[in-house]
Structure 1
Amino acid sequence: MQDDKAVVWDEQAGEYKNSKIISFNSTMQTTALPITADREPGKDVVGLAAQAFNVPQATDDVPGWISGHVTLPPEGIKDAEGVGMCSQVFFVGECQPKSFEVAIGAPEESTFNPE
Structure 2
Amino acid sequence: DRVRSTTSGSSLPAHLLGTSGTVTTIAGVQLSLRRYDRARVDGCWLAQEDIAKVCSELLEMSYAERMDNPCIGRDRADLVLAGCAILEEICAAFPAPRIRVADRGLREGILTLMMKTDGTYGSRP
Structure-2-length-normalised TM-score: 0.21
Higher helix share: 2
If asked which structure has higher relative contact order (CA below 8 Å, sep 6+), I would say 2
